[in-house]
Structure 1
Amino acid sequence: MLQCTRVSTLPVGELAAELLAAGHQPVEQFRTYTGACLYVWCELGEHSDGKHADLISEEDVNGEYLWFLWDDNGGHRFEYLPACVADAPDGDDVCHFFRQHPGDHSWKVTDPVMDAMRSEVKRQMRGWQSDG
C-alpha cells in the first residue's frame, strides 16, 4: 500500500504551546521544530476517511507520542497517542503508527518518494563503482 500524499502546514505557535504544556525545554525543542517541520505529511497508508496524521515527537511521554492530526476540512489538533501494539508477521518490525490507526500497519506502507530516492542512490553508486 502506498503512503498517503496529503500535506499540511504545521501551526508552529500551537506546537510551541503544546511542548511547553508537556514540560519540554522551550528553547531546544522549539528550535528543533521551527526550522525543520513547517510542513507535515500524512504517514498513514492511503485512506479515504479524510483524516491524516504525522508523528511529531518520538519522545515517549507515559507510553504515548505526540502526533499532529488534521482533516481535509481544515480541522487539526495535537494529541498524545499510544503506540500501535502490532508486530509484523515476520517478527522483524513493529507498527510505527498510533493505536487504532486507520488502514494497514506501517510495515505494509511504502513511501514512493523515498523508494525513488533509494533507487537513484543505488543507480549513482553503480556508476561510481564502474568508474573506479
Structure 2
Amino acid sequence: MQCQLSAHDDGEHFGLLADVGEYGTALWIRWPGTTALELAVLPDCPAAAPGPDGEGCCLFADHAEQHTWENALEEVPCPS
C-alpha cells in the first residue's frame, strides 16, 4: 500500500481502504513507520480547491501536509 499523503519521511502514513460515502467518512489503513497496521474511520476533508469548479480534497479531515490538488509535481489521483 502507498501512503496517500504528499511526500514525507516522518510520521504516520495513510492508505485509503474503502470510501464509506453516505456518512462523509472513509476507512483508512494507518501505519506509523514500520509498525503494525491499524484501521481508522476518518471524516472526509471538507476543503476544496479555489475557484468555482474547485475539486475536493481526497484525504481525511485535519490531515497533515498538502491537499490532494496541491500536489503539482506528483499527481495523486483519488483512489476509486
| TM-score of the two chains, using structure 1 as the length reference | 0.50
Task: Please report the TM-score for the alignment, with normalisation by the length of structure 2.
Answer: 0.78
**1-structure distance, mates of 2:45, 2:10:** 19
TM-aligned CA deviation for residue 58 of structure 1: 1.6
Contact 2:18 2:27 in 1 (8 A): yes
**Is 1:95 aligned with 2:57?**
yes
**75, 82, 85: which one pairs with 2:43?**
82
In the TM superposition, what is the alpha-carbon distance from 1:61 to its structure 2 partner? 5.5
Partner residue of 2:12 out of 51, 56, 59? 51
Structure 2 equivalent of residue 105 of structure 1: 67
Q: What is the number of equivalent residue pairs in this alignment?
A: 74
Asked if 2 retains the 8 angstrom alpha-carbon contact of 1:47 and 1:102, the reply is: no
Secondary structure in 1 matching 2:21: strand
Q: Post-superposition shift, 1:78?
A: 0.5
Return 5+ residue gaps in structure 1 as ranges. Answer: 1-39, 115-132
Larger CA Rg, structure 1 vs 2: 1
Q: Matched residues in 2 for 1:99 and 1:67: separation? A: 12
| Shift, 1:108, TM fit | 1.2
Tell me which protein shows more helix as a share of its residues.
1
* CA RMSD of superposed structures (Å): 2.0
Cα deviation for residue 105 of structure 1 reads 0.2
CA contact (8 A) 1:88 1:94 kept: yes
Is the contact between residue 25 and residue 41 of structure 2 (CA under 8 Å) also seen in structure 1? Answer: yes
Q: Distance in 2 between matches of 1:111 and 1:44?
A: 11
Instruction: Report if the CA contact (8 A) 1:88-1:95 is conserved.
Output: yes
Task: Name structure 2 gaps, 5 residues minimum.
Answer: none
Give the SS at the match of 2:60.
coil
Partner of 2:21: 60
